[in-house]
A and B are shown apart, each in its own frame.
Chain A
Amino acid sequence: MAIRMKETDAVLIGVGLVGTILGRELTRAGLKVVGLERGEPRSTVPDFQGPQIHDELRYAVRYALMQDTARETVTFRNRRDQRALPVRRWNSFLPGTGVGGAAVHWNGQTYRFQDSDFRMRTRTEERYGKDFLDPEITVQDWGVSAEDMEPHYDRFEYLLGVSGKAGHLQGKKIPGGNPFEDSRSREYPTPPMKEPYGSALFRKAAEGLGYHPFPQPSANLSQPYTNPEGMTLKTCMFCGYCERFGCEHYAKASPQTVLLPVLLKDERFELRTNCQVLRINLDSSGKRATGVTYVDGSGQEYEQPASLVILGGFALNNVRMLLLSGIGKPYDPESGTGTVGRNYAYQTTSGVQVFFDRDVNINPFMRSGASGTVMADFVSDNFDHSSLGFVGGAYIGETMSHGRPIEFHPTPPGTPAWGSEWKKAVIRHYNHTSVLNIHGSSVAVRSNYLDLDPTYLDAWGLPLLRMTFDFPENDLKMSAYLTERAAEIGRAMGGRQVSASPRKGPYDITKYQTTHNTGGTVMGADPSTSVVNPFLQSWDVSNLFVIGASNFPQNASYNPTDTVGALAYRAAEAIVGRYLKSPGPLVQT
């Protein structure tokens, strides 16, 4: 029998990046807020301190900070005619859990998406004609423009203290920054990080080929910074233990370092950890959320009534929560109708290894999560696609984040996987190899989607999420073309040997690629092809806001976190400025 808790103004499902921002904005507006987090509480001291945090096996290989697959995972298949099977241990992507969520163990790459990303369908049809896109491709506009998003990106980047160099400031192009970015209202809060050796070799080679390299915008900070919330971050030490780890130095922006301590001091906020939300409850009309039902760490079930529900979890979990709660119409790939689970997309990544002579010490361990140099010449629609047969693009850069040897021990192609020859090759190349990252977009297609698995259950007896995904032909073409461009730059870097590995199908869940899973609760201006409106409010249940990378109609070339943070601030502004004054749909259908 569920214990009924005292009603609250707002309940947060998940206290990660989105939950922390919404918690802060709503309490500041005078609301009482309960934050439900399924994982453990954790903070910089003592949880992320050295030396224990510098343990590759525990954090990077055994995934100490990630969602426990023994209790909850996803099932996966490439195609609908296959049987989906559980991902029994994570590999391809690593969903987080616990207070601060994945923003604890992210790398800190903090990019804005471009206007051409937000208007992908319109722009593609305008520039290349209506027939350019394959009918299977279901990319669409977001319902927002870069101009709409600018103030929210700005606010989020100033919360984090992002280190970077503007390339387009108040309408003027600035040398040294990204010339392809949309105009930004202010310079980055802090200057770029120091440039590691391999990144400098990349920059010179890219410049020599006529490209426009710039320092990767980083939420590992170049210098101390105090944000508008009064939180102070420190200088990144380039320790090489960033993604998959918490930061011991207070140098990586995360909820713990930029906002959470402020929120936790507010009496209007209550954090409850080890609380697994089972479903969002609806009233008899099905159009209004009455709160949530959750189970605490001892197995006791509770009902938490609330006037406003904020679903701010990881993309995959947002989709599953709506499906488990019966909110919205599940997507049907047969008819192409329904919206929840539709337009699931990923990221099309690939790599180029550059093997140098023995006297070139790359020192891969002297890195931070987001240090490095990149170029946007092949991002989004910054280049002419008319003769290429694909849409989308990638940033190319030298953005190595570590030299931890269980994960990183490069050998040239043709080297055996074990034995004396392998060992000699590892010793020869470990400190003399640079890796280029080709970080590509992912189009949505009719056949890639998320729904509930008919067979497999989680530890609470609820159906797992089922993922049906393979790389669309469009993205494999893109990867082949841009990985070759990266190899040309690699050859100009002065290496002895260059090895390019474009992404190939089928999608393999056993190989780590990235944790940039997107879509499934897509935002948009048309309720027949989106789950939430351009303010992230559910079309079906107006006192429910769904916020996260699950809002992306398709995935862009850049890393998603800046856009997730900006969307959180955009939603918060709409709730505080408009919704609370007059609760109800913010966009009429």
Chain B
Amino acid sequence: MDDSRRSFLRNAGLTAVATAQATVARAQAAPPGQDLPAAYIFFNEQEAAFVEAATARLIPSDETGPGAREAGVPQYIDRQLAGAWGAGDRLYRSGPWHAGEPTQGYQLPHTPAELFRKALRGIADDVRKQYGAEFGALPEARQDAYLTALQKENRDLGGVPSGVFFTTLLEATLEGFFSDPAYGGNRDMVSWKMIGFPGAYANYYDLVDRHGVAFDQPPVGLADDGHGRMRLRAVPMAPGGDAGAHGAHAGPAGVHDRPAGGK
């Protein structure tokens, strides 16, 4: 059992609908071998605990399906912060630094990695002072109240206004939840299945004028062929190429799946 699964069950144990959620978790769990390593490469243990708990409140696991934590959003944010985006890629970083008007946008000298590190330290101190406990140990209602305070009161978190941090955290959570699973979040394409987004699928020519048609094929990710022709891992490629099996992942009407490399 990997860490995210454990944390899911821990979360489920706190709620009244544990059974329903556990069923969802089983249904949505990625097949063995597709799990990302659960290790964090940017967050320390305390930071990771906050981000896991906070993202689970921003997009909770509920009767509609898994939330941000189960989808791997904390791991997504961790990898983003450890990489180029966290280091300030494509961020204009010359001073002088002035607060500016809200219409002028982000004007802090921190890279996203610096912003998270400072804010998370500030939050840990703040929560301990206020509640005498870690954020993750608070009841959900209190966690929500604290996150709302970060969002609306604009507290000072060691040089980071809490509103700026909250917005960054919420945006990163949405990115991780809805982006391609290749980035570490949206595990097993849970969010795409939930809303009915077909992902990287690329051909609706035959469907666009069938108004109101229900598109209920499973989504496609970057690890699949971008033309909607899936890799059917379970079926060995027939000799001579193109006579691939038509399995459960068949595309919509008129689009036949083909084996890997059949492009």
Contact = CB atoms under 8 A, between A and B. Distances in A.
B196 A85 contact: no
A518 interface: no
Contacts of B130: none
B75 interface: no
B91 A70 contact: yes
Contacts of A509: 103-105
Main secondary structure of the interface of A (DSSP, over half): loop
Interface in B163-205: 170, 173-175, 178-180, 182-183, 191-192, 194-205
Nearest to B191: A405
Given A70-B89, A423-B67, A405 B224 contact: no
B107 interface: yes
B174 A87 contact: no
Contact of B104 (A63, A76, A89): A76
A365 B192 CA distance: 12
Contacts of B10: none
B1 interface: no
A52 B183 CA distance: 12
Contacts of A586: none
B203 A237 contact: yes
Contact of B90 (A53, A63, A365, A409): A63
A5 interface: no
A365 B197 contact: yes
B203 A88 contact: no
Interface string B201-226: 11111011101111100001111111
Contact of B203 (A83, A239, A510): A239
Nearest to B215: A363
A55 interface: yes
A588 to B, nearest CB: 44
A196 B208 contact: yes
A76 B199 CA distance: 36
A69 to B, nearest CB: 5
B175 A406 contact: yes
Given A70-B90, A197-B212, A423 B60 contact: yes
A45 to B, nearest CB: 12
A203 to B, nearest CB: 12
A457 B94 contact: yes
Interface string A433-462: 000000000000000000000011100000
A507 interface: yes
A490 to B, nearest CB: 18
Contacts of A406: 174-175, 178-179
Given A366-B204, A406-B179, A69 B195 contact: no
Nearest to A195: B209
Contacts of B57: 418-419
Given A52-B226, A423-B64, A424-B64, 15 more contacts: A51-B223, A54-B200, A57-B175, A57-B183, A77-B101, A194-B209, A195-B209, A240-B204, A361-B212, A366-B215, A417-B151, A417-B170, A430-B197, A509-B104, A510-B106
Top 4 A-B pairs, shortest CB-CB distance: A50-B226, A51-B226, A54-B200, A366-B204
Interface of B: 57-60, 62, 64, 67, 85, 88-94, 96, 98, 100-107, 144, 147, 151, 170, 173-175, 178-180, 182-183, 191-192, 194-205, 207-209, 211-215, 220-227
Interface of A: 49-57, 61-63, 68-70, 73, 76-78, 82-83, 85-89, 91, 194-197, 200, 235-241, 248-249, 360-361, 363, 365-367, 371, 403-406, 409, 417-420, 422-424, 426-427, 430-431, 455-457, 506-510
11 contacts: A49-B226, A53-B226, A56-B179, A69-B90, A70-B89, A78-B101, A88-B91, A363-B207, A405-B192, A419-B58, A457-B94
